[in-house]
Structure 1
C-alpha cells in the first residue's frame, strides 16, 4: 500500500489512466469487429464504410499511447486486405 503523498497520487493517476486506456482499447476493438462482421456477412459497402470509421480510431490509439504504431499499421493493413478482397469478390 502507498504511504507517501506522491505514491498515493501515482496510484490515483494510474487508475484514471488505466480506465481511459481500457475504454480506448475497447472502442478500437469494437470498430474492428464492425468491419469483420460486415466482411463475414459479405456486405462490401458496409465493410468499406466500417473500415473508413475504424482506420482513424486505430490511428488515434497510437497517438494516445494505447497501441504501438506497428501494431496499428498491421491491424489497419489486415482490415484493408479483408475489405479489398470482399470488394473484388463482389465485382
Structure 2
C-alpha cells in the first residue's frame, strides 16, 4: 500500500488510466468482433466497412499507447487478410 502522498497520488492516477485504457481496449475488441461477424456471414462489403472502422480504432489505440505499434499493425493485417479471402 502507498504511504507517501506522492505514491498515493500516483496510485489514483494509475487507477484512472487503467479504467480509461480498459474502456478503449473493450471498444477496440467490439469493433474487431464486428469485422469477424461480417467475415463469418460472408458479406464482403459489410466486412470491408467494418474493417475500415476497426482499423481507425486500432490505430488510434496505438497512438494513445494502449497497444504497441507492431501489435496494432498485426491485428489490422490479419483482419485485412481474412476480409480479402472472402469469395
Fold conserved between structures, TM > 0.5: yes
Q: CA RMSD in A?
A: 0.6
Aligned length: 87
Q: Which runs of 5+ in 1 are unaligned?
A: none
In structure 2, how many angstroms separate the alpha carbons of the residues matched to 1:71 and 1:2? Answer: 33
Structure 1 ranges of 4+ moved more than 3 A: none
Within 5 A, what are the aligned runs for 1:21-60?
Answer: 21-60=21-60
Within 5 A, what are the aligned runs for 1:1-91?
Answer: 1-86=1-86, 89=87
In structure 2, how many angstroms separate the alpha carbons of the residues matched to 1:66 and 1:17? Answer: 10
Per-residue CA deviations over 1:40-60 (Å, capped at 9, x if unaligned) read 011111101100100010001
Q: Compute the TM-score of the two structures, normalised by the length of structure 2.
A: 0.97
Q: Which runs of 5+ in 2 are unaligned?
A: none
Q: Secondary structure at the match of 1:66?
A: coil
Q: Compute the TM-score of the two structures, normalised by the length of structure 1.
A: 0.93
Q: Secondary structure at the match of 1:2?
A: coil
